[in-house]
């Protein structure tokens, strides 16, 4: 297996977990090389973060000897914007999948996906491009997660749930079977979703109710 070189785009809290996930995965596989981070904050350039250098701006990757990148930015909107730039520049994307994640044999996983420790994704599910499945979340059978979405730590999606593009599902949320969450919506932490959620709204509570319409 080729020893590919990888750069992480972003140098914040989410990037730290992506870095740790990649380090553990590389150690387990015995292949791959993590070069460091790029970030558009000039105050970070030249510093060391999570044991690796911050090499320069995001666009500086054009001057680096890099085989693959992953966009490690927590904000769904910002992650989408940078992901689309990466695609337009025709860089190859890598996934960061923790070795403790349990993934069904017929699960479809897109590009640039982060799947952290103790995540479970059951058979028949589909994970879109640039998605975050955060620590300890569970995605049951036949779920669909749209691109640029973020499923928060400890969240549980029952069978057949559909999460549309760009949606954020907060920490510890539960969603009952076959519910649909619309594009670019937010489900507040600890909510229990028992009804479909429209596009571009924020819902929260037990059960989750709409509290605001969002401009996206």
CA count, 13 A, side-chain hemisphere, 207:
7
Domain with 33 in it: 5-93
- pTM metric for this prediction: 0.95
DSSP string of 92-112, one letter each residue:
EE--EE-TT-EE-TT-EE-SS
- Do 82 and 124 lie in one domain? The reply is no
Residue 119, domain CATH: 2.160.10.10
- Do 157 and 186 lie in one domain? The reply is yes
Q: How many domains does the chain have?
A: 2
What are the residue numbers of the active site?
Answer: 141
- Do 117 and 162 lie in one domain? The reply is yes
Q: Tens digit of pLDDT per residue, the chain (216 long)? A: 368 899 999 999 999 999 999 999 999 887 789 999 999 999 999 999 999 999 999 999 988 889 999 999 999 999 999 999 999 999 999 999 999 999 999 999 999 999 999 999 999 999 999 999 999 999 999 999 999 999 999 999 999 999 999 999 999 999 999 999 999 999 999 999 999 999 999 999 999 988 767 665
Among 59, 93, 127, the domain-final residue is 93
- Do 118 and 201 lie in one domain? The reply is yes
Among 40, 62, 93, the domain-final residue is 93
- Distance linking the first and last C-alpha atoms of the chain: 42
Phi, psi of 122 (to 5 degrees): -90, 165
Bond before 207 cis per omega within 30 degrees? yes
Helix (H) or strand (E) holding 67: none
- Do 12 and 109 lie in one domain? The reply is no
């Amino acid at each position: 297996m080729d020893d590919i070189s990888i750069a992480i785009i972003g140098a914040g809290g989410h990037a730290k977990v992506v870095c740790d996930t990649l380090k553990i995965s590389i150690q387990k596989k015995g292949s791959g090389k993590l070069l460091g981070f790029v970030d558009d904050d000039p105050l970070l350039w030249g510093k060391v973060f999570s044991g690796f250098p911050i090499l320069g701006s995001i666009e500086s990757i054009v001057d680096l000897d890099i085989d693959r990148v992953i966009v490690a930015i927590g904000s769904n909107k910002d992650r989408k914007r940078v992901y689309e730039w990466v695609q337009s520049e025709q860089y190859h994307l890598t996934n960061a999948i923790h070795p403790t994640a349990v993934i069904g044999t017929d699960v479809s996983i897109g590009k640039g996906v982060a799947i952290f420790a103790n995540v479970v994704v059951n058979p028949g599910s589909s994970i879109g491009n640039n998605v975050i499945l955060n620590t300890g979340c569970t995605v049951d059978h036949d779920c669909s997660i749209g691109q640029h979405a973020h499923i928060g730590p400890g969240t549980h999606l029952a069978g057949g749930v559909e999460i549309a593009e760009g949606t954020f599902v907060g920490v510890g949320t539960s969603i009952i079977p076959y519910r649909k969450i619309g594009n670019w919506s937010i489900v507040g932490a600890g909510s229990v979703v028992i009804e479909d959620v429209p596009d571009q709204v924020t819902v929260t509570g037990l059960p989750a109710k709409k509290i605001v319409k969002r401009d996206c």
